[in-house]
Amino acid sequence: MRVNAKYFEPEIKALFSKMIDAKGPYNFDNNDAFMVLFIFNTVMGDLMWQLQEAENIKIEDRMKMAEDLGYKIRDLIRVYTGLDSHKLI
């Protein structure tokens, strides 16, 4: 299933509203973080799939790439925010 960017508009608008209304820090919560990560992972997964198709990458290598991406994103988030993205659900 291909997801159009318009699907995410309500969530993006909600985040922008929170930012516009903020008088200080945005105070994003875990739900906001999950929403952003979901959108980011959806887009990254689709772009990675397009690359894998264009380069005719074998299924085993595709799975390894997807797993590696997930671990790298999780580590990046943990290092810079202290959040464990696997616990946001």
Residue 5 has pLDDT above 90, yes or no: no
Cβ contacts of residue 11 below 8 Å, gap of 6+? 35, 39
**Structure confidence at residue 57 (pLDDT):** 97
**Structure confidence at residue 2 (pLDDT):** 63
Q: Give the pLDDT band (50/70/90) at residue 6.
A: confident
Cα(56)–Cα(85) distance, rounded to whole angstroms? Answer: 30
Pull the structure tokens for residue 38: 């979901």
Residue 74 has pLDDT above 70, yes or no: yes
**Structure confidence at residue 24 (pLDDT):** 83
pLDDT in tens, 51-66: 999 999 999 999 999 9
User: Which of 89, 87, 52 lies closest to 68 in space, CA to CA?
Assistant: 52
